[in-house]
Structure 1
Amino acid sequence: MAKERIEGLVSVVITNFNRAAYIRECLDSILQQTYENWEIILIDDASTDHSVAVAREWLEESKRFFPRENQVLIHELPRNIGFSGAINVGHYLSRGEFIAIQDSDDFSHILRFSRQVEYLKNHPQIDLVGTNYYAFSADNPEKKQLAGWIKYGDDIRKVYGNGGHCVCHGTCMFRGRLFDQIGGPTRRIEGAEDYEFIAKALNARAGVNNIAEALYYYRTHAEQRSAHYYRKKGG
C-alpha cells in the first residue's frame, strides 16, 4: 500500500557530517523560506565535531518562529554510514508530498520552495525539479558564479542518456511518491550517488526538469564530499 503523505508539506532532508561551520546558515535559509509548510529532517552521520550541538542550539533559539510544532527532527546515527545511507534514512522518515534536498554546507534562496512547489503543481507530468544555482568559495563568499552546466527540457534526458550530468542534486525537489516508487540514491557508487539517482528516475520514466532561476547557493571548500567531482564539472 502506498505511503500516506501530507498534502503540500515539503520534507527537507539534510545530511550532515562535520559541518559545524556552515550548518547554521543552512538552517536559517530554510527558516526564512516564503513557503512555510515544511519540516526539516536532519540526519547526522556520526559527526565528530560539534555540528549537532550547533544545530540543537539553533533549534532552541528558532523554534518560536516555526509556524507549527514538531517541524524539526534531528536524528543522530550511531555510526557513520556514508552520504547515500544517511540521506535514505531521511527520505524514509519524510512525511511530505514533496521532498527537498538541502546540503548542510550550502543554503537556499528564500523563494526556492515557493518556486519549486508552484512548478510541480503546475506541471503534473514533472516528478523532480532542480534549479540553477550560484557557486562560491568558502574563502571568498562575496564572489558568486552562475552555474553553466545545468540543462533544461528534453536536453536533460539526452545528457543522461550519454552518461552526462546536468541536475544539481542539492537543488532537487521531487514528489514523495517518486522515492516511494524507486527508492533513493544507491550505496554502491561512492561519489556518484546523485548522478545515479537522477538516472534511475529517468529510467523509471519520471519527468525531470530544472528551473532556470538560480535559487541555491553552492559552497566550494576543501572538505566537501564532492570537491573533485565539482571541479571536473567546472560548474
Structure 2
Amino acid sequence: MSESMVRVFLRTCPGDNNKERPDWYSKGTCVRSLLGAVDALRASGVAVETTMVVDTSSGKALDADVADLAPDFDHLIEVKGGNNRTSLRAFYRSLPFDDYEDDDLLYFVEDDHLHRRDALLTLTTGTAEYRFLYSFAPHHGEPEPGEGWRAVPGGTSSYGVQVAACRRDHLWHLLMLNGGGAWDELTYRAIGANAFRDGWEYVVRPFHPDNLFPHRSKLGSLRHSVARAVAETARRTRRTPATIECYVPNPACHAETAVMTDHADWAVVATPYLPEPATAPEPTVTLVLPVLNGADYLEETVDAIRAQTREDWRLLIVDDVSTDDTVAIATRYAAEDPRIRLVRMRDNTRKRGASAVGFALATTEYAMEANADDVLHPDALEKLLAPLEQDPTLAASFGGHRNVDSIGRELTEYGDVIAEYTGRAGLSEGRAPGIRRLQISRGTIPAGTAATLRRTAIGAIPTYTNTHTDFWLGWQAARTDAVCYCGERIADYRVHGGNTLRAMFRRKKARDRMHMYLAIARESHRDELLPIARKLVDNGIIAVFGPLAGRRFAAQAKELSQAPATDETLETVGSPE
C-alpha cells in the first residue's frame, strides 16, 4: 500500500435510530475511535485523506460531540438524503473517480461503528477488492474458518474497496439502492460475491410473511423481488465475481447490540474514546461564516466578532474551496482562539451547501449567518440575543445596518434608499408587525448580515436557494410573525464591485428566486399571493432577458466594480430586490 492513498469517508446525520445500543455507545465515541485509527495509519507512513459526509436534509443539528470533531476532518461534503439509503446514493453520485488512482483504497463507514486503533492498518493488509472489518453471520454469511482475511459471501454498507473495483461496480451500487430491502445484500449479490442464499426461492422471499425485511405493502415486496431477480441474474451471468473478504477477529464493530460480535471486549476498546466532561461553558450562539476567496476582508470581519461585548459565541468558518489566502487566515485565527473553528468543503457549493453544513454543525440555541466582508458592531450580539433570551416565543431578532463602500466609507443616501425600500425605515423597536408580508415583498430581514435565529427555526435549506441563503433564512424567521426588530444599525454591510446589483440580473439567480417564491407560495396566506405573483413575474422577465431587463442598472454595477463606491455613484442606482 506504499504507493496508494487511503480515503476515509464518514457518513453522519442528525439524530439516531431506536436500535438497542451498548452502555458505552455514543456517536462521538465511535467517531473518535475512527480518528484514532486514522492517526495510527498516518503514523505508519500511509497517506490518508478524511472526509465527513453530512446529511443536511432534516435541517437539524448534528450530535454536538460529532460536530465538535468536524474540524479534524480534511474535507466535508453535504448531501441531501433523509435516510441511510438515499444519503448513500447522493454520496456515491458525488465521488470524483477521475481524481483517484486505481490502487487507492476507499473506506466508507457510518457514524456508529467502533474501531480498534489498528483497524485501518489491518484494512490495508488485505488483497481482496472488497474488505470488511466486521460481519454478522445471519445477514452477511459465515466467513471461512480460521483467522486473518477470510472469504465471506456477503457484506455491509461500511467497507473498504479498491478504486478500480468501485469504479467498475459503481452503477450496480446505485441501481441496487433503489431495490428496497437489504440493498447492501442486493449489491454484493449483483457483483457476484453474495451467494449464501442461492436459488430462485431467494427472489420470491420478499412475499413470505417471515421475510427478514418485511414490507408494508405488496408493491414494496414486488419492488424488492424484482431487484432480487436482477441481482440474481447479474450474479449468474457475471464472468468474474468480485473478491470479498472479512478480517477475523473483527477489528471493528457496528455498535448495535443485536449485531455486535464477541471478537473483542468492545467496552475496553471504547474507553479511550469516551467523551470527557466539559471544562468550559457552552456558547450561546454560533456564527456560520461561509466564505469563498474572502481574504481581502476576512480579518476585519473576524476581528469585529472577537471584539463583541458578548463573549459566549462560536465562529464556524466554512471554506467553500477558496483559492486565495482565506484558509491560511482562518487557520491562524482558529489556532489563536478556541471559539473559532475552520471546516473545508471538498467541492464548491455556491454558498448554499457550505451554509447548510455550517448550520448542521451549529449545536447552540441560537445561530446566525455572517458574511465574510461585513462587520458587526461591538454590541451587535448583545442587542440581537437580548430579546430572544427575554421572550421564548420569538423566532428571530434583527437590526439594521450601515451601507459602506469597499474602504469603509458610509453611503448615506444609498443606505436611506435601501432602508426605505426594505421597509426597515418604518419599523419601530420591538415586535415587527406584518413581517411576513414585508419579507415576501421587500426582503426586510438582513439574515446574512444582522439577524439571529433560534436554531430550531432554521430548518433545512433547499437546494434551489444557492447563493440566496440570506433571503431564505429571513423567510424562515418571518414565517411565524414572531420577530423582534432591535431598532438600531448593528453592522456594516459592504457594497463593493456591485455585489448586490449584478446578481439581480443573472438568469440563473432569477430562476433560483422563482423557485423560492413558489415554495413560499405553497404556505402563504391569500393576501400574500399578489406580491408573490409580482415577484414571479419580475424574476421571470429577468430569467428570459437577463441583463437586458435592467441594462442601466447592470452598467452602473459594472462601473462600481472598477472603483470604490461613493455616495454620488450609488445615489441613483435602483434598489436591490
TM-score by length of 1: 0.83
Letter in 1 for 2:364: G
Which residue matches 1:141? 408
CA contact (8 A) 1:157 1:202 kept: yes
**Residues 91-127 of structure 1 deviation map (CA, whole Å, 9 limit, x = unaligned):** 0001211102210011100000011111111232211
Q: Distance in 2 between matches of 1:154 and 1:198?
A: 15
Deviation, structure 1 residue 192: 3.5
Three-state SS of the structure 1 residue aligned to 2:284 is: strand
Q: How far 1:206 moved relative to its partner?
A: 5.4
Deviation per CA, 1:42-73: give whole Å up to 9, x if none.
0000011111112222334x43xxxxxx3121
Identity, % of aligned positions: 19
Q: Which has the higher helix share?
A: 2
CA gap of 1:7–1:210, structure 2 versus 1, over 3 A, is farther
Asked if 1:116 is matched to 2:395, the reply is no
Matches within 5 A, 1:44-193: 44-60=319-335, 62-63=336-337, 70-138=338-406, 140-145=407-412, 146=415, 147-148=418-419, 149-151=422-424, 152=427, 153-161=432-440, 163-169=441-447, 170-179=449-458, 182-184=459-461, 186-193=462-469
Say whether residues 1:220 and 2:562 are aligned partners: no
Decide whether aligned partners of structure 1 residues 234 and 201 sit closer, same or farther in structure 2, where only a CA change above 3 A counts: closer
Match of 1:195 in 2: 471
Equivalent residue letter for 2:341? L
CA gap 1:226/1:52 in 2 versus in 1, 3 angstroms: farther
Give the match's secondary structure for 2:322.
Answer: coil
My pick for the range that moved more, 205-214 or 24-33, is 205-214
CA distance in 2: counterparts of 1:79 and 1:196, whole angstroms: 22
Farther-moved stretch of structure 1 (3-12 vs 29-38): 3-12
* Contact 1:156/1:209 (8 A) holds in 2: no
Cα distance change of structure 1 residues 232 and 96 upon mapping to structure 2, 3 Å threshold: farther
Whether the aligned pair in 2 keeps the contact of 1:116 and 1:173 (CA below 8 Å) is yes
Q: Label 1:207 to 1:187 Cα distance change in 2 as closer, same or farther (>3 A).
A: same
2:352 partner letter: S
Question: Aligned equivalents of 1:115 and 1:200: distance in 2?
Answer: 20
Question: How many residues in Structure 1 have an aligned counterpart in Structure 2?
Answer: 222
Q: 1:191 to 1:79 in 2, by over 3 A?
A: closer
**2:300 matches 1:36:** no
Name the SS for the 1:117 alignment partner.
Answer: helix
Whether contact under 8 Å (1:7, 1:97) holds in the other structure is: no
Letter in 2 for 1:176: R
Aligned-partner SS, 2:286: strand
- 1:31 and 1:142, CA in 2 relative to 1: closer, same or farther beyond 3 A? same
Task: Give the secondary-structure state (helix, strand or coil) at the position aligned to 1:87.
Answer: helix
Counterpart CA distance in 2 for 1:88 and 1:54 is 22
Distance 2:477 2:386 in 1: 21
Are residues 226 and 171 of structure 1, via their aligned partners in 2, closer, same or farther at CA, if it must alter by over 3 Å? farther
Q: Which range is displaced more, 124-133 or 105-114?
A: 124-133
Q: Which structure has the bigger radius of gyration?
A: 2
Name the CA shift for 1:196/1:176 in 2 (closer, same or farther; >3 Å). Answer: closer
In the superposition, relative to structure 1, how do residues 188 and 212 fare at CA in structure 2: closer, same or farther (>3 Å)?
Answer: same
> How far is 1:26 from its partner?
0.4
Any stretches of 5+ residues in structure 1 without a counterpart?
Answer: 64-69
Counterpart for residue 67 of structure 1: none
Q: Deviations over 1:142-187 (max 9, x none)?
A: 33434513434113222235x33111122110111112xx323x32
Give the structure 2 partner of residue 66 of structure 1. Answer: none
RMSD: 2.7
TM-score normalised according to structure 2 size: 0.36
Q: Do the aligned partners of 1:191 and 1:226 also contact (CA within 8 Å) in 2? A: no
1:16 aligns with 2:284: no
**Matched residues in 1 for 2:334 and 2:476: separation?**
35
Q: Secondary structure at the match of 2:365?
A: strand
Contact 2:321 2:348 in 1 (8 A): yes
